[in-house]
Amino acid sequence: MPDLPAGVLKLYLPKNRAADQVRKVDSDLAKFAKQQLKNQVAHRYVSQGIICRVILESAEMIGADLIVMGFHSPAMKGFLLGPNAARVLRHAD
């Protein structure tokens, strides 16, 4: 999940906004995994921050051999890699 906006806007958001968002996304992801993955083993991890940094830190933490990323942006239809995937590719071990 991306970081919450910085600065003055944060003053107007509820104090637990970030934690509430993480819990909601984790709950939605758990429901999706249960419906779609059926009997397969899967581990979910929800984090918040700069996308490429969080992906790389998470991959290192779990010892990932492979990082698979998808994106949906009609304006970038002709590109092989989106900007976040390109950053992850450049910096991944």
pLDDT of residue 76: 64
Q: d(Cα 54, Cα 32) in Å, to the nearest integer?
A: 22
Q: Label residue 77 by pLDDT band (50, 70, 90).
A: low
How much is the mean pLDDT over the chain?
Answer: 82
**Does position 32 have pLDDT exceeding 70, yes or no?**
yes
What's the gap between Cα 44 and its chain centre? 10
